[in-house]
Structure 1
Amino acid sequence: TPRPSRMSDHTFTLSNGLRLGYGEYGDPCGEVAFYFHGWPSSRVQGSLFHEHAKKHGMRLICPDRPGIGLSDFQQRRTLLDWPDTLEQLARHVGADNYHVIGWSGGGPYVLVTALKLNKRLLSASIICGAPPLKFLGDQQMFWLYRFMIQLRHYFPTILGLVLRLGGMAARGSPHKAPLRWLMKLLGQEDRRVLLLPGIYDVVRDATLGALDRGPRSVIADADIYLSEWGFEVSQINFPIHFWHGRQDRNIAWTYTQQISQLIPQAESRWSEIDGHYSLPITHAEQIITTALQKEVPVGNRV
């Protein structure tokens, strides 16, 4: 699917003087939804939802987190800083009420938004979301993530080098080494979907949007997942739509099972065959129509 042009990119200045960048996709006159990208990724990832958002009347606004893509680096940022940043972005785009959707590393940002800004929210959706690692541990994470966590603790300089090498590798073809070797680590559906026309190009561009700024910003973004979040998930009093594939090798579905049990109004949807990439891409329309409380198309059920 052709991605919208970079004409969709915008920036504005926050009250702290820093610039925040974002992309816009979908229907420019539709209901506003903010999309929170994964790690390491950037606003471009939201373009994977463009066609379905446009079809169903959703204006999808995808901010780069501070230090990523078009957004300036913010010293000592915490997860609890996010609601204020989002409120300023919402005012800037003229949204009093809105949906929030987060994929993978965007999941914690949905949770803190649901906790602090629930009166503004129309819906909250988390796809294959990252867990509170301080609370639940990293044993159910992809071995490569666990390896990077160890590097962060003991050899942060080497982690920076690994991320730079990852950015160089991402520019290659998924049909050739070394990417072909990495693709073999993924499940069958993830490999199939990433090799569909145009899909890997978007995933690559979104990743490079983070890595092109250098490893410092990407590591700082990762540090938030490893830190104390500053709130209990059980405090969230808002319905959360959880989506997770049981073949997810990046972030195990059991994390979502544990988190959803702590949230009184959680609703979980599982796919038996999908992984970390195939679930949001294959079921993008159902994720959007569920958020908008529209009829789910027959034959596209998880």
Structure 2
Amino acid sequence: MSRRMSETASVKSFDSIPTMADVEATLGCVDMNQRYELFSGRLVSFAEVGHPCGHPVFCFLGLGCMRYYSIILEDLAFKHSLRIYCIDRPGVGMSQPAEPESWTPLRMAEIVEEMANGFNIQKFSVMGHSCGAIYAMACALRLKTRIVGTVWLMSPWVHLTLAKRMKWIKHVPTTLLKSQSTAGLLYKSLSVAAKEPPSRSDPNILNYDREKLIKAMLQDNMAESLEGANNDLMVCLELYHSFGFSYKDVTLPVHVFWGTKDAVISREAVDWMEQRLPQCTLSVIEGGTHGLLWRADVVSQIFKGIASSWKLAEFERSLSQRWSIKQLGLNKHQSKNYRDSTYSTGLQQAIQTSNIYDTQQTLYQSQHDTQQTLYQSQQIFEDPDRF
């Protein structure tokens, strides 16, 4: 039976500037160091941060980044009542390695599905940063009926032909790219944005002192994940095979955040996503770098949007339950037609056209309209001659 395997205490939030001992204790606690045994027998490591009873969100990190990065999301996730699951891909952290020739983003979607089933998570949201966008989009394609709301992406990696700035890598022999020194050099160059010093114009998630301590700890731990970074690199460059799908195949709403100072992903790449995906919104962050995961303003927008999607989903489910056949006094056929013409059309249009950040107003207005429509329908059946 697939199961969690972990040890000791939970993640704690700091009320004051932590010492290095505090950081080590936090990164060494149970929620940050869990392992899950898949039906295949392979072990994957993962972390859980945020509200212990919050809405589940699977977060996919960038090139070779291990689960410890999720600690920077702890406070904001708790604030928005979200529970973040961050899974180490093969060869990263304590996850057992996989042959890069056989590893594809769609296999990650299978792992997410198996773990969600094991944890009895029926619905969840997804978000991805940089290389993690590939895996988030794979889940959006394979598990779309289980995803709540929008797919949220930061500095998303796209096909190399669209990346523009790294096309030269295609001409480097695969044997050289697989070497430890070359993979390590590329790994550092692509992940350097996450370690940039904070500035007043670029608000980071952590306060400066805490950020310095945690980044130092993360850097030490990430140095051991070179094999996983190499696997990710092979996927990004599509050296063994393509992603196995196209972003254009994803029909769910997608919201992309991209910074004007991103040295890895070009504006042309995110413009392509906005133009070619069925439902895609692009938010341009002036002065933002490739490390948008560290920006409190960006992550806050994403978490607020995710929380709003869950509120809408819960309201929709509650409304559907209240509108029973008995309440409307209609037969089965009439009830279906009535709901199709009023609920499915009116409410869904209101939700789709409303601003995701004005959720409360939408909920109140939809509830008021629903009550008015229900009252009128009851009056029609009680006294048709009045209308």
TM-score, normalising length: structure 2: 0.63
User: 1:30-179 counterparts in 2 under 5 A?
Assistant: 30-75=54-99, 76-123=102-149, 124-133=151-160, 135-136=161-162, 138-141=163-166, 153=174, 155-156=176-177, 159-163=179-183
Deviations 1:226-283 (A, max 9, x none): 1111112211110111111112123223312212322111122111121122564232
**How far apart are 1:140 and its partner, in Å?**
2.6
Alignment of 1:1-302 (within 5 A): 4-7=26-29, 8=31, 9-75=33-99, 76-123=102-149, 124-133=151-160, 135-136=161-162, 138-141=163-166, 153=174, 155-156=176-177, 159-163=179-183, 196-203=208-215, 205-206=217-218, 208-213=220-225, 215-227=226-238, 228-278=242-292, 280-283=294-297, 284-293=299-308
Partner secondary structure for residue 119 of structure 1: helix
Higher helix share: 2
Contact between 1:41 and 1:209, CA under 8 Å: does it hold in 2?
no
Who wins on radius of gyration, i.e. which is larger? 2
Task: Please tell me the residue identity of whatever aligns with 1:223.
Answer: M
Secondary structure at 1:17 match in 2: coil
Q: Deviations over 1:198-222 (max 9, x none)?
A: 3354455445544314x33321221
Identity between Structure 1 and Structure 2 (%): 21
CA contact (8 A) 2:129 2:154 kept: yes
| Code of the aligned partner of 2:262 | D
Q: CA deviation at 1:17?
A: 1.2
Q: Secondary structure of the residue that 2:281 maps to in structure 1? A: strand
CA distance in 2, matches of 1:205, 1:105: 22
Instruction: Please state whether the residue corresponding to 1:274 is helix, strand or coil.
Output: coil
Aligned partner of residue 197 in structure 1, secondary structure: helix
Amino acid at match of 1:6: G
Runs of at least 5 residues in structure 2 that lack an aligned partner in the other structure: 1-13, 310-355, 359-387
- Larger RCO: Structure 1 or Structure 2 (Cα < 8 Å, ≥ 6 residues apart)? 1
Aligned-partner Cα distance in 2 for 1:149–1:39:
18
More divergent stretch after superposition (242-251 vs 188-197): 188-197
SS for the counterpart of 1:15 is coil
SS state at 1:287 partner: helix
SS in 2 for 1:269: strand
SS of the residue corresponding to residue 74 of structure 1 reads coil
SS at match of 1:11: strand
Distance 1:148 1:199 in 2: 33
Residue type of the alignment partner of 2:80: H
Q: Give the Å deviation of 1:152.
A: 5.9
User: Residues 44 and 202 of structure 1 are in contact (CA less than 8 Å); yes or no, is this contact kept in structure 2?
Assistant: no
Amino acid at match of 2:176: F
Q: CA deviation at 1:166?
A: 8.5
Q: In structure 2, what is the Cα distance between the partners aligned to 1:218 and 1:201?
A: 23
1:156–1:236: structure 2 CA closer, same or farther, 3 Å change rule?
closer
What TM-score do you get using the length of structure 1 for normalisation?
0.79
Distance 1:209 1:131, change over 3 A: farther
Tell me the matched-pair count: 277
Secondary structure of residue in 2 paired with 1:238: coil
- State the partner residue of 1:176: none
How far does residue 167 in structure 1 lie from its aligned partner after superposition? 8.9
Q: 1:223 to 1:165 in 2, by over 3 A?
A: closer
Q: Which deviations, in whole Å up to 9, do the C-alpha atoms of 1:99-137 show, x marking residues without a partner?
A: 11111111011111111100000132111111121x42x
SS of equivalent residue, structure 2 residue 145: coil
> Using the alignment, how far apart are the partners of 1:258 and 1:117 within structure 2?
24
